[in-house]
Amino acid sequence: MALELDSVTVRYGRTAAVSDVSLTVADGEVVALLGPSGCGKSTLLRTIAGLEQPSSGSVAWDSSDLAGVPVHRREFGLVFQDGQLFPHRSVAGNVAFGLRMRRVDREERDKRVLALLELVGLEGYAQRRVTQLSGGEQQRVALARALAPSPRLLLLDEPLSALDRALREQLAVDLARLLREASTTALVVTHDHDEAFTLADRVAIMSRGRVVQVGPPAEVWSSPVDVETAKFLGCNKFVPGSFVGLPVGRVGLRATALRVDPAGPLEGTVLERVHRRDHVRLLVDIDGEEYEAVGPVSVGDRVRLAVDLDGVARVGGE
């Protein structure tokens, strides 16, 4: 194991921002820490970086405890939400920063800077001022700068959340590709599940300072550990498994779980129709209960509905 957290607790005064977290990140693995705002993700990331000290528990790298190892000796790369670039330096000057600190010679440095700019899709940008770049370009520079000294672990704190949605989705795909191309070991903090599931080999869900579930994205998405986690992952209605034809106790339904289909097993009446970003969402009455559904029908219509299992989560590991 590369990174090992063992029962890490971090307190600010009397309140614990992180409680008893044990988590590992293997060599070459990308793990996302996913949870709502305030659940302790950044605090945990900052503790791994060495910017905060655990009140108890340990942070270790390759079985060696990092207590007492200062931030700059951990060989970890850091990328924050707002990039924190040096405004008076060029793109190349920013990317070369960590290499200069390590006294890498000039020729070697220039070569590495060009290779990294190519990796992040900014060929030809070396001499630009960073103040002339868009938000997305600045985050690419921040990423190249963090990767330049070949950190053994890359720590990313909401790296895309300052960008607008379309750019964020594109950059998440790019970031996933380049983390894999560079075989980077990384821990990414995010509150956005699309981002976590795009980037990560494993997702760790946090709630109120604790890691409540860890697993591959598909598993966490389809089997959240409890109702609170299921709600965080988009389920807004909870019904017995038999309702959707599954032999399990309880399932959570996402907005896309039910869709209009003349051959479907359920029947209801359309109460409302709302236009969303990329589809029409319906509110349907089935036996006196309201459910969300999707489909091209009108208010008042009597419709049949089929179950789309991608929109259904089994709750509580059942």
Decide: residue 13, CB within 10 A, 0-12 exposed, 13-18 middle, 19+ buried. exposed
Q: Is 252 in the site for ligand ADP (CB under 6 A)?
A: no
Which is closer to ligand ADP, CB of 34 or CB of 119? 34
Residues of span 228-247 touching ligand ADP by CB under 6 A: none
Q: Is 42 in the site for ligand ADP (CB under 6 A)?
A: yes
Q: Is 35 in the site for ligand ADP (CB under 6 A)?
A: yes
Among candidate residues 12, 77, 78, the one with its CA nearest the CA of residue 43: 12
Which is closer to ligand ADP, CB of 37 or CB of 64? 37
Q: Is 12 in the site for ligand ADP (CB under 6 A)?
A: yes
The answer for 202, left when phi > 0, alpha when psi is -120 to 50, beta otherwise, is: beta
Look up residue 20 and give its two tokens.
Answer: 């008893």
Torsion 55-57-59-61 (CA) sign: positive
The answer for 55, left when phi > 0, alpha when psi is -120 to 50, beta otherwise, is: alpha
Q: How far is the CB of 41 from ligand ADP (least distance, A)?
A: 4
Q: Which of 3, 5, 43, 255 binds ligand ADP (CB under 6 A)?
A: 43
Q: How far is the CB of 44 from ligand ADP (least distance, A)?
A: 7
Q: Is 40 in the site for ligand ADP (CB under 6 A)?
A: yes
Which is closer to ligand ADP, CB of 12 or CB of 86? 12
Q: Is 198 in the site for ligand ADP (CB under 6 A)?
A: no
Which is closer to ligand ADP, CB of 35 or CB of 311? 35
Residues of span 92-121 touching ligand ADP by CB under 6 A: none
Q: Contact, 172 vs 198, CB < 8 A? A: yes
Q: Contact, 23 vs 32, CB < 8 A? A: no
H-type alpha helices, the chain: 41-49, 91-101, 106-119, 135-147, 165-181, 193-199, 217-222, 227-232
Which is closer to ligand ADP, CB of 48 or CB of 251? 48
Q: Which of 39, 48, 199, 205 binds ligand ADP (CB under 6 A)?
A: 39
Specify the DSSP class assigned to residue 164: -
Specify the DSSP class assigned to residue 311: G
- Please choose, out of 37-45, 231-239, 256-264, 291-299, the segment that lies near ligand ADP by the rule CB under 6 A: 37-45
Q: Is 41 in the site for ligand ADP (CB under 6 A)?
A: yes
Q: Is 265 in the site for ligand ADP (CB under 6 A)?
A: no
Look up residue 50 and give its two tokens.
Answer: 């060495």
- Please choose, out of 34-42, 106-114, 168-176, 266-274, the segment that lies near ligand ADP by the rule CB under 6 A: 34-42
Q: Is 190 in the site for ligand ADP (CB under 6 A)?
A: no
Decide: residue 214, CB within 10 A, 0-12 exposed, 13-18 middle, 19+ buried. middle
Q: Which residues bind ligand ADP (CB under 6 A)?
A: 12, 17, 35, 37-43
